[in-house]
Structure formats: structure tokens, C-alpha cells
Amino acid sequence: MIDWPLAELLPHAGDMILIDQVLAFDEEQVHTRLTVKPGGLFNRPDGSLPAWFGVELMAQSVAAYAGCHARRKGKEVELGFLLGTRKYACNVEHFPAGTELTIHGLRSLEDDNGMGVFECHLTGPGIQASARLNVFRPPQAATYLDESKDLTP
């Protein structure tokens, strides 16, 4: 179990941090968990989360993976981008409030330019979801964002 606060691993703040804990990570993978809490920004009226939201939970797990590696190396956590997903599949329509979910992200590709691909699986009682996430963490993300402003008409 990892004791680092999630706010120090993710470039998110407050209610936008949706995972509860990093259980483990190594060079190739990350394991996280969360309990679905009712009353959040994305919850349905019954307190559940729509199943399509699993992609964001997987993306935050991948971000936590990057944050853990940055922290272990004594570096700042940098901003990353979810470029897209392929083959998101889920066997339920929603994740009920109070349900504990675990997420496993396995790095299948990462290059020196910041592009990466992760195979992700989300599980819970009677719940199975999977997807391949394409992510991008540009070197010196702050500079990258500042340069984008120059391109705006």
C-alpha cells in the first residue's frame, strides 16, 4: 500500500480526485481502489456512477502511476492528457454507491516523447470493465501549454 497523499500524485484537486488509494505500483503497472461515494459531481440521482465514467477512473489510475514514478524520482508531478480509449467494455450500466472498485493499469507502450498506452481493467462485485487508454505526457507540460496559447487566433 502506498501512503503518499493522492493530492501529491495527481494533477487534480478536491472533488476531482476520484480514486481513494494507490495499492501498489512498479515499473509496468499500477493497482488502485475506490469506493463509489454518492453526491459527487458525476453521480446519478441514486448515488451511482454511470459505467462510462470508468474511463475517467482508469485515467486517474494511470495518472497516479505517473505521479508515483515522479515522486519516487524526486520530480514534480506533471500534467498528462487522455487522448482517447479503444474498446471500452463494461458489463453493467452503473457502479452503485458504496461499491468498492479496483483498477489495474498495465503499461504496454511508453516512448521518450511522452506517448503511452495502458491496458486497464476495473473490477468490483459483479463488475468487469476494460479499455486501452492512449495517453500523452509532454515533456515540460507547462511550456507545452504556454506554446499552445501562441497558436490561438
Instruction: Per residue of the chain (153 residues), give pLDDT as tens.
Output: 678 888 888 877 777 889 999 999 999 999 999 999 999 889 999 999 999 999 999 999 999 999 999 899 988 888 888 999 989 999 999 999 999 999 999 999 888 787 899 999 999 999 999 999 999 988 766 666 665 555 555
Instruction: Kindly give, in sequence order, each residue whose CB lies less than 8 Å from that of residue 19, ignoring residues fewer than 6 positions away.
Output: 6, 32, 33, 34, 57, 60, 61, 64, 103
32 with 22: CB under 8 angstroms?
A: yes
3-state secondary structure of 37: coil
Burial bucket for residue 22 (CB in 10 Å: 0-12, 13-18, 19+) = buried
Phi, psi of 143 (to 5 degrees): -65, -40
> What gap in Å lies between CA 8 and CA 13, rounded to an integer?
10
Phi, psi of 94 (to 5 degrees): -155, 165
pTM exceeds 0.75, yes or no: yes
CATH number of 6-150: 3.10.129.10
